[in-house]
Structure 1
Amino acid sequence: MNAVWTLCVANLREKKIQNGLTALLILLATLLLATSVNVILTTGNLFTAIHEKTNGSHQILKFTNKLHDPRMVNDWWSKQDGVATSKLLPFKNLTTVMYEGQEIPNLYLYMMNTPELPFGVDEPTFVKGDVRSNPATGTIWISTALAYAHGMSLGDHLGFTTGLEKFELEVSAIVIDVPYGAPFSNGIRIWMNTEDYQEKLSSMQVSDMYMMGLRFNDYSQNAYHWDRFENFLGTPFLESKDEFETISAFYLIINKVIAFAMSFLGVVMMSIALITIGFTISDAILSNYKTIGVLKSLGLSANKIILTYVSHYSFLAIISIIPGLLLSHFSSKLIVESSLSNLEMESTTSSIHGGMISLVVGVFVFLLVFLCVLIYSNKTRSIEPAQAIRYGMSEVENSKMTKRLGSSGVNKFGFASYPVAFVIGLRNLLKNRKGSLLIMVLATVTSAVLVFGFVLLNSIVSIEKTMPLWGYDSSDISVVVFNKAAFSRGDFEKEMLVDERVETIGWMGDELSGIFPSEGQTTGSKSVSLDIMDGNYDELGFATLKGNNPKNKNEIALGINVAKHLNKDIGDVTEVYIDGNKHTLTVTGIYQTIREMSNSARITVDVVKVYKPDYYATFLGYIMLKNTADSDDIAAELNAKYKNSVNALAKQTLIDSVFKEAVSILIVPMSIMGLMFVLVTFIIIYSTCRMNIRKESKTYGIYKSVGMTSIKIRQCVTSGVVVLSTIGALLGIVVGTSILPIVMESVLSSYGIVELPLLFNWGGILPMACISIVSAGFGSWLSSRIIAKTSPRILVVE
């Protein structure tokens, strides 16, 4: 055992750089794997913890169209066993909020008439401010989603307008509001005092609307309850219903993307680490073949020689895994807190931890390293002492080498006619095939990671070019009508269409729900959000995956998840209830949208006019311009002229309000992962080239003795690696632009995106791919310094 320990310590001392690089590789793999697992589990656990703490709803029912008596519905659900029901929450909608003299764009406000706490479901959880049963007169409670996104704090004043009246209210508390506090959502609840609600909103000529939350003791049984409820009603539930999947989606989607990327890259990096360890052990066995033979001839058993390698790399694994796990705690905490800050409070930050899961990941990584070392070091069993001492290799390998040296294979390829530099570089690659293959694979993976990361971030940053493929329109200006009493659509259109800058106008109707009957399914009827267009979907930039947008009164286009749920395709007929009226419509198209997770449908205004001939779509206007550059000016003009009735927003303003947060959350972890892979490329290529150069030291000594300079030899070696990594980079471009997007689509499909809208900017893709080439070339060049430092005589003698 003393001999084993002596040999293990000797390997650790003699190969400091190689051991350090191997340890760093294991550390980075552990960091990525542990971070990805922690992010996935912590995200779900943190959301679940807050959802439980607030007695969060599984479904939100909204009564906006007077199709059911909200009090009757609330009373029925409150009597059901296994279901918790909130109080009825009256509200009215506004679209304008001012903070520090500036309007916050793209917000849809639910101004709540706050009943006394507790609500029963979706209890507001106070993060800042005094806990009260309801807001004091002149004050409001706002959600963390609004406060954190815009830097609001207690005592700040927010301004609102009903179109006819403006008023300000003071922020007295910041609360976690789970159903309306997710990142990227624009629906925000403002909790008002009852007196303020009645006084400040009295000028609005609309009656109260209501919402209520349902929480099931066993969510999987909700279909059973809904079957009973709809039997009680005698019809499907005709108002709108938000499902738990929709409520939770935007809390989890970004972290799911980041965790997927990290876990995928962690697996790749771990595979590279194991391949590198295996290659290093194989190379060490070949380099020390004669020494191992001598040790065996002196009585050291094969098991003890294997134990030397196992001890060596087990020690490296342990000292690498521990800091990797510690760092993963901080990295996962950073990612989770940045994406779930809306759920953060002092009592929840402690839930962001690795715990037992990190330990399991660490043990898993250690076992992988242990098994890899055991498998590769087992090759020492076949070493025969006599052959090792005589040939420095097995007799079979010696015979093969002799045949190769004696053959005229070199002349067959005509290498004598090629430049010396080319032959030396190619010979270095061919003679070390395993190392060369590792370099090419590494360059491929690194380029693929960098290219895909760049493409993804660039596509989100430049999302205005692909908005239709995310389920949005491509209009230049959106106009929200918040005061219909003071607005004339006819006059507005007349003025707009005579403006030479305007191309066309379309209008979206008020928020309606489409109810698809169960048709014998066990999941109950399905409620989806309906887009009602008075205009041409195609002209305003709404895209479909297949088929066409509806144009007639008997047509409908379905979101991809609705189509899957109903098992419908182009040309199929489906029944849908709109405002309590049953329609039989033909499916003309299927589309994807990140909004509502593709749980939506598109119809034309003619469908509604079948049962409501005087229906007038004036909820949201879309304006297409001849020159997009005019959008900011026209939006400002509209806001100034129609300040009492509409809120106009340019396309870029809308995009920034929704996707800017996604970019800020994604850019840091994606950049770090890219840098990690560049570092790994450098580490492995440096280590591999250094081992190859040591094995070929005699050959390079001969080159120097016949007049080649150290610089020339180093250039030859590096040029071969650069050529090989260039091939890998080209393959990486293919993988990063073709294969990885498909894998990402499988992650996002449940969120309603089955075809990832990507922009391929080749002016950025090619430089990204070249980073791996530069890293490989620099690693190879740096590792070849040993050639310059050693004299030809010593090299030849060795």
Structure 2
Amino acid sequence: MAAVFTLCLANLRKKKIHNGLIGLLILLSTLLLTTSINVISSTTNLFTEMHTRTQGSHEMLLLRDELHNPQQIAQWWTEQQGVETSPLLPYRMLAGMSVQGEDRAAELSNLTLYMMDTLTRPYAVDELLFAQGKESVSPEREEIWIPTSIAYLYEITVGDRLEFTDGERPFTLEVSALVIDMPFGAPFAIEARIWMNHEDYVQQTQGMQGTEQYMMGLRYDDYDQSSGYWERFEQELGTPYLETKISYEQMSSFYLIMNKAIGFIMIFLGVVMTMVALFTIGYTISDDVLSNYRTIGVIKALGLSSGKMVGIYLMQYAFISVMSIIPGLLASQWVSRVIIESSLSSLKLADSQEKIGAYLIPVVAGSFVCVLIMLFVFLYASKARHIQPMQAIRYGMSEIDYSKKMKPFMGKETGLFSFGKAPLLVVLGLKNIRKNKKASMLMTLLATIMTAVLVLGFVLLYSISNIKQTSASWGYDSSDISLRVVNSSTFSLESFNQMWSSDPRIKNITWQGYVNGVVSSEKHGGSHDEDRKSMNFSISALGGNYDEVGYTTLKGRNPQVKNEIAIGIRVAEELGKDVGDVIEVYIEGTKQSFLVSGIFQSIANQSVSARIMADALHDQFGDYIVAFVNINQEQDADEIVSEINGRYENSLLAATMQSLLDATFKQAVASLLLPMSMMGLLFTGVTIIIIYSISRMTIRKESKTYGIYKSIGLSSQDLRLSISIGLIVLSAVGVIIGILLGVYLLPSLLGTILSDYGIAELPLILHWGGILSFAAVTFIAVGIGSWASSRVIAATSPRILVID
């Protein structure tokens, strides 16, 4: 055993740089793999923990269209065993707000606000957790609580004064606390609950148009039994539930979507990097056994057994693995925390230091990597078991290999490798590649992976940053300007259309309203029919042409007449409907039959939505709350928005579609930037490390050949350049494959994650200039690694190289 330990230490001392590079590769593999598992598991765990801690609702009922009696609904659910309910919470709806003393931002102006009459806490369901500010049973006079989802995103802090308008007059309230509000606190917030003092609520909302609205949360002891409750509820109600209902899946989706996507990418690439590390270790051991064939033969002749020879390598790499895996696990905890906190900041309490992931995850991941490495080491080191001492001492290799080496060359080289048909340096570089096939395969694989990672990161970030070009494919319109009615009592649609339709800068104006649609459980025909639950979804009613606004469909077309409907892919899946089928929907309490004209995707509401023409509703429908404006010259957009906001300050809000999309998706860009940048840098570093390490081993093995080249007149610079040229030419194959993977395969795999969020086809923008620029980084990395590794040629004399 002492001999094994001594030889192991000798191997560690002899190749300090190479062993250090292998250790760094293992560290990075462990970091990426453990971080990906941590991000996926901890995101779900963090959401589940906060949902349990707040007694979060599984369903939220919004009673705002007076189709049911709110007190009757609340009483029925309160009496049910196995169901906890929140109080019946009164609210009024406002559009947008601004921070006092600052210019009105489009992001804040286009939020849907539920101005809540705050009842005395605590609540049995959807209790509020205070992230900042003083906790109390309700806000004080002229104070409000706002959710962390908008406070952190728009940098609103305790003490800021927010300005609201009821359409006739503005009023300001001071932020006294930031609260975690689970049902309406997800990232990418487009709506929020603003918690008001009761007296302020009465004073500020009494002049608003319409009647008071209500919401209540339902929490089941067993969520799987919810369908039974709804079946009994609708039987006693005598009709399907016709108001708006938000499910647990809808509430949780945007908490999880970004980190699921990030985790998916990282775990895929983490596995790939681990396999690269294993292949590199295998190649290194094989090269070491062949390079030290005669030495191993001598050692075995002196009495060291084959098992102990394998033990030398096992001990060596066990030491390297342990010294690398432990820092990788520790670093993964920090990286995981940064990624999760950047994407789930709305669940962060003040001064909280939540543990990211259970201790079991890094232990299991680290053990898995270590065991895998040991298995590969044993597999490749076992080649030393077959070395025959006499053959090794006599030939320096096996007798069969020696016989092959001694065979005379048959014929002469032709084709590209002929000195007469290609530049000398190119020929030397390509000869080196052909001679070291395993090393060439590994380098090609590295170039492929690095290129795929860089290209994928660029494509995703560029596509989201320029989402205006593909907004229709995400389920949004593609108009130039969006208008939103703040107070319909002070706004005249007819006079607005009359004035602005004649403006030569404006191409068209199209108005849209929203209603709630319900399909009764008896009409379900999809794969989820066993649930027997009514399906509620939002329906947009357009007073114009959907194609003109820019809405698109995946199948069929948008509705064009009043008896047609286009449905989201989740609605189509749930109901088992396709283009040409008939669907019966309750709208505003009335059952109507529609022909499905098309199926579309939309991430805004997970495709749980539909589109109809406004004239499919009652004849005098005029509850339009948004409008889409297309203009003749794009550069006029900001000027038109400014004019509309100035003229209709208290009744209408206008914003360019670009600013709205930027506000909605800037959090997605911020969440993706860190992990994609980290993975790009990691793979670039790994590529340089492995190219340097393998190229250095190859140069050492071919040192005599390079000594001969130098002795016949080739300079060190020529030889180093030939090595770099050969590897760059080789990497070109990997770059081409990597571009295809990064542009087509990896995004399609990522699309499988987004399918649960209403996106069947991931909309990407392929900017080939940027794609090729990022792919070119691979050539730079390969060039740096190969040039650095060949420095030994310049530092050594031809005479020593030939003797070696």
SS, match of residue 349 in structure 1: coil
Aligned ranges 1:697-736 → 2 under 5 Å: 697-736=703-742
From 540, 562, 569, the equivalent of 1:531 is 540
Distance of 2:717 and 2:348 partners within structure 1:
58
Q: CA deviation at 1:289?
A: 1.1
**Structure 2 residue 565 is matched with structure 1 residue 556:** yes
Partner Cα separation in structure 2 for residue 711 and residue 154 of structure 1: 65
Question: 2 CA distance for matches of 1:106 and 1:500?
Answer: 27
Deviation of the 1:413 alpha carbon = 6.8
1:90 equivalenced with 2:96 (yes/no): no
Gaps in structure 2 of 5+ consecutive residues = none
Provide the secondary structure at the position in 1 that maps to 2:759: coil
Equivalents in 2 of 1:510, 1:456: separation in Å? 32
Partner of 2:497: 493
- Could you tell me how far apart the structure 2 residues matched to 1:213 and 1:736 are? 43
Paired amino acid for 1:126: F
One of 774, 778, 781 as aligned partner of 1:775: 781
TM-score, with structure 2 as normaliser:
0.97
The answer to whether 1:406 aligns with 2:409 is: yes
Q: Which residue of 195, 199, 206 corresponds with 1:202?
A: 206
Tell me by how many angstroms 1:754 deviates: 1.5
Show the counterpart of 1:598: 607
CA contact (8 A) 1:533 1:603 kept: yes
Deviation at 1:410, TM superposition (A): 2.1
Residue aligning to 2:675: 669
Q: Which moved more, 1:181-190 or 1:315-324?
A: 181-190
Amino acid at match of 2:786: S
Corresponding residue of 1:171: 175
CA distance in 1, matches of 2:470, 2:563: 29
Per the alignment, residue 354 of structure 2 pairs with 350
Which stretch shifts more, 36-45 or 716-725?
A: 36-45
Alpha-carbon displacement from aligned partner over 1:46-90 (angstroms, at most 9, x marks no partner): 111111111101111101111111111110011111111111111
Matched residue, 1:160: 164
CA separation in 2, counterparts of 1:128 and 1:740?
40
Match of 2:586 among 560, 573, 577: 577
Q: Secondary structure at the match of 2:514?
A: coil
**Map 1:594-743 → 2, pairs under 5 A:** 594-608=603-617, 612-743=618-749
> Structure 2: how far apart are the matches of 1:137 and 1:745?
48
Structure 1 residues 414 and 64: CA distance shift in structure 2, 3 A: closer
Q: Which residue in the other structure is 1:78 paired with?
A: 78
Structure-2 residue corresponding to 1:18: 18
1:326 aligns with 2:334: no
Counterpart Cα distance in 2 of 1:354 and 1:14: 39
TM-superposition CA deviations, 1:358-409 (whole Å, max 9, x none): 1111101101111110111111122111221222111222222233x42225
2:90–2:212 CA contact under 8 A, matched in 1: yes
The amino acid of 2:530's aligned partner reads T
Q: Name the aligned partner's letter for residue 573 of structure 1.
A: V
Q: Does residue 479 of the first structure (1) align with residue 483 of the second (2)?
A: yes
Residue of structure 1 aligned with 2:138, choices 127, 134, 146: 134
User: How far 1:347 sits from its partner (Å)?
Assistant: 7.6
- The CA deviation string for residues 531-580 of structure 1, in whole angstroms up to 9 with x for no partner, is 11111111111111121011111111111111111121111222211112
Counterpart-to-counterpart distance in 2, 1:401 and 1:78: 88
* TM-aligned CA deviation for residue 129 of structure 1: 2.4
How far 1:672 moved relative to its partner?
1.1
> Distance in 2 between the 1:182 and 1:686 partners?
46
Q: Report the 3-state secondary structure (helix = DSSP H, G, I; strand = E; otherwise coil) of the residue aligned with 1:685.
A: helix
Counterpart amino acid of 2:463?
S
Tell me, what secondary structure is at the counterpart of 1:152?
Answer: coil
In 2: Cα distance, 1:637 partner to 1:184 partner:
28
Distance 1:61 1:412, change over 3 A: closer
Distance 1:665 1:718 in 2: 37
- 1:39 matches 2:48: no
The match for 1:522 among 530, 538, 547 is: 530
What's 1:105 paired with?
Answer: 109
Instruction: State the distance in 1 between where 2:379 and 2:256 align.
Output: 40
- Residues 292 and 694 of structure 1: CA distance in aligned 2, closer, same or farther (over 3 Å): same
Q: Counterpart of 1:336? A: 340
Distance 1:435 1:752 in 2: 44
Cα distance in 1, alignment partners of residues 704 and 351 from structure 2:
65
Deviation at 1:346, TM superposition (A): 4.5
Q: Which amino acid aligns with 2:36?
A: S
The answer as to whether partners of 2:240 and 2:518 remain within 8 angstroms in 1 is: no
Taking a change above 3 Å as real, the CA distance of residues 428 and 573 of structure 1, as seen in their structure-2 partners, is same
Q: Which residue of 2 aligns with 1:417?
A: 420
What is residue 4 of structure 1 aligned with on the other side?
4
Tell me the residue number matched to 1:513.
Answer: 517
Give the match's secondary structure for 2:765: coil
Q: Greater CA deviation, 763-772 or 504-513?
A: 504-513
Do the aligned residues in 1 keep the contact of 2:515 with 2:588 (CA within 8 Å)? no
Give the letter for the 1:379 counterpart.
Answer: K
Shift of residue 510 of structure 1? 3.3
- What is the distance in 1 between the residues matched to 2:720 and 2:87? 77
2:577 aligns with 568
Deviations 1:472-495 (A, max 9, x none): 001111111121111111111111
SS of residue paired to 2:523: coil
Aligned equivalent of 2:385, options 368, 381, 387: 381
Q: Is the 8 A contact 1:534 1:617 kept in 2?
A: no
Q: Which amino acid aligns with 2:88?
A: L
For the residue of structure 2 that corresponds to 1:597, the secondary structure is coil
Whole-Å separation in 2 of the counterparts to 1:408 and 1:292: 35
How far apart, CA to CA, are the structure 2 residues paired with 1:730 and 1:145?
Answer: 42
Deviates more, 1:569-578 or 1:723-732: 569-578
Corresponding residue to 1:300 among 298, 304, 326: 304
**Mapped partners of 1:615, 1:414: distance in 2:** 79
Distance 1:266 1:413, change over 3 A: closer
| 8 Å CA contact retained: 1:631, 1:651 | no
Instruction: Give the CA deviation at 1:411.
Output: 4.8
Question: How far, CA to CA, are the matches of 2:409 and 2:144 in structure 1?
Answer: 90
Kindly state the Cα deviation for residue 770 of structure 1 after the two structures are TM-superposed.
0.8
Partner of 2:397: 393
Return the alpha-carbon distance in structure 2 between the equivalents of residues 570 and 510 of structure 1: 22
Contact 1:507/1:621 (CA < 8 Å) preserved in 2?
A: yes
Match of 2:554 in 1: 545
Provide, for residues 561-602 of structure 1, a one-character-per-residue CA deviation record: whole Å limited to 9, x for no partner: 111111211112222111121122111111111111111111
8 Å CA contact retained: 1:54, 1:121: yes
For the residues of structure 2 that align with 1:433 and 1:115, how far apart are their CA atoms?
74
Distance 1:636 1:518 in 2: 50
The amino acid of 2:536's aligned partner reads S
Q: Residue deviations 1:207-244, cap 9 Å, x none?
A: 10111101111111111111111111121111010111
For 2:716 and 2:593, locate their aligned partners in 1 and report how far apart those are by CA, in whole Å: 82
- TM-superposed CA distance for 1:516, in Å, is 4.8
Identity of aligned residues (%): 49
Aligned-partner Cα distance in 1 for 2:671–2:428: 48
- Conserved 8 A contact 1:105-1:654: no
SS in structure 2 of the partner of residue 135 of structure 1: coil
**More divergent stretch after superposition (306-315 vs 422-431):** 422-431
